[in-house]
């Protein structure tokens, strides 16, 4: 099934993750997606997605009404590789104007755990690959979220700098907190928007999220919004930059999306995010295939489909051969490396299989089990 978005409800958070740079809502009109829901709440946001900038005139956006990212690989779920449940998808910047398009390819991993300590968050990794012949410098990347908690006219936004944690909450009887957290070691920033005429002295988005405003938000910091007595409609942007990506190289930036019943629990959740991140996804474990220069097959064991991810040192055309335990060839294909290859295993008999990868003068053999 080729899904451009998938609802993830492994724990207290229910979020739709998309293969086009958005999250929460895949399409606004007509609406596709759950949004962001916590326990039994209604949707807590109106729009969310990534934005990026090379300069004040060259920007990329998945935030309404722009859409500069095209689906390259739909959302697929697999289990028990790094987390209990994982989603993976890929998209590129091919929908951007020619003067802005830079052959970016972004792989999105979403990591979820099913134990109670991890019940209030998901971790999201964006691996940004530069397929252009020239390096990229002074690049900025961020995740924007327009929060609508209970009554959006009564929302506030703040920032816990020691945790690199952007938060939004309702100025009323409900104590619910939601937010986005930066996890990577790269330089990060936060901009809190007052979504009202004039922007309350900050960036005014009532006239649209223009390239100049995108760049300004990614390169400046504003750590609170809705700070009048009643609050107002607010949004958060959590960003990284400036980033440098060599030609043919890639960089990973990591986030968490989290919610909790109150501020105290929210900060406890953020601390658990950091603990889980350091254990499973820190820089030393950045990406198995990139760290070991080996290909990775998942899920393993598999049922109806497997994926093969190739490391950075694989460039060009490769040949794949799948063999059963008797050495019989059950599948052959040519594939372009540095892509995520999917192989349908639905008709294979149960048992162990070998995948023989031939690339230039090099060879590699992977094993997987069909359940």
pLDDT means per 10 residues, the chain with 371 residues, are 84 97 89 94 96 98 94 85 88 96 94 96 95 94 98 97 97 91 96 97 94 98 94 98 91 96 97 92 48 68 79 73 86 69 85 85 83 81
Which of 174, 121, 141 lies closest to 12, judged by CA? Answer: 121
Please work out, in degrees rounded to the nearest 5, the angle formed at the alpha carbon of residue 105 by the alpha carbons of 102 and 110.
145
pTM of the model: 0.79
What integer pLDDT is reported at residue 177 of this predicted model? 98
The rounded distance, in Å, linking the Cα atoms of 119 and 274 is 14
Q: Which residues contact 210 (CB under 8 A, 6 or more apart)?
A: none
* CA quadruple 353, 303, 36, 235: dihedral, nearest 10: 20
Using CB atoms within 10 Å of the CB of residue 130, give its burial: 0 to 12 exposed, 13 to 18 middle, 19+ buried: buried
Distance between CA atoms of residues 166 and 118, nearest Å: 19
Residues of the chain with CATH 2.70.98.10: 5-286
**Is CATH 3.30.750.24 the right assignment for the domain spanning 292-370?**
no
Q: What b/e string do you get for 258-285 counting C-beta neighbours within 10 Å, with b at 16 or more?
A: bbbbeeeebbebbebbbebbeeebeeee
- Asked if 266 contacts 177 with a C-beta cutoff of 8 angstroms, the reply is yes
> In the prediction, which pLDDT does 274 show?
95
Specify the DSSP element, H or E, that contains 264: helix 263-280
Residue 365: what pLDDT?
A: 85
- DSSP conformational letter for 349: P
Residues of the chain within CATH 2.60.40.3080 domain(s) are: 292-370
Predicted pLDDT at 292? 45
CB atoms within 10 A of CB 363: 10
**Which CATH number applies to 5-286?**
2.70.98.10
Tell which residue, 120, 162, 167, has the closest CA to residue 145: 167
């Amino acid at each position: 099934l080729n899904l451009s978005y998938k609802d993830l409800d492994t724990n207290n958070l229910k979020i739709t993750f998309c293969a086009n740079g958005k999250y929460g809502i895949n399409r606004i009109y007509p609406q596709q997606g759950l949004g962001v829901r916590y326990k039994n709440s209604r949707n807590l946001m109106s729009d969310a997605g990534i934005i990026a900038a090379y300069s004040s005139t060259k920007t990329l956006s998945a935030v309404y009404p722009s859409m500069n990212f095209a689906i390259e690989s739909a959302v697929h779920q697999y289990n028990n590789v790094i987390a209990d449940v994982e989603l993976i998808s890929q998209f590129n910047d091919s929908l951007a104007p020619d003067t802005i398009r830079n052959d970016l390819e972004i792989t999105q991993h979403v990591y979820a755990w099913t134990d109670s300590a991890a019940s209030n968050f998901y971790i999201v990794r964006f691996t940004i690959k530069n397929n252009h012949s020239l390096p990229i410098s002074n690049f900025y990347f961020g995740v924007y979220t327009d929060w609508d908690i209970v009554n959006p006219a009564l929302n506030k936004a703040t920032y816990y700098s020691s945790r690199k944690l952007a938060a939004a909450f309702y100025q009323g009887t409900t104590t619910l907190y939601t937010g986005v957290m930066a996890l990577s070691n790269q330089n990060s920033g936060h901009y809190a928007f007052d979504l009202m005429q004039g922007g309350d002295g900050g960036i005014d988005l009532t006239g649209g999220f223009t390239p100049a405003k995108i760049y300004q938000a990614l390169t400046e910091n504003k750590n609170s919004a809705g700070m009048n007595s009643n609050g107002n409609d607010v949004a958060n942007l959590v960003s990284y930059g400036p980033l440098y990506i060599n030609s043919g190289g890639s960089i990973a930036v990591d986030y968490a999306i989290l919610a909790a019943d109150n501020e105290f629990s929210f900060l406890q959740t953020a601390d658990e995010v950091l603990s889980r991140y350091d254990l499973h996804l820190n820089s030393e474990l950045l990406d198995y295939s990139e760290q070991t220069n080996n290909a990775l097959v998942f899920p393993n064991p598999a049922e109806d489909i497997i994926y093969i991810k190739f490391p950075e040192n694989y460039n060009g055309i490769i040949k794949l051969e799948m063999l059963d335990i008797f050495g019989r060839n059950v599948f052959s294909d040519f594939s372009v490396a540095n892509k995520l290859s999917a192989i349908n295993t639905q008709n294979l008999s149960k048992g162990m299989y070998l995948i023989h990868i031939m690339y230039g003068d090099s060879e590699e053999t992977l094993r997987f089990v069909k359940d």
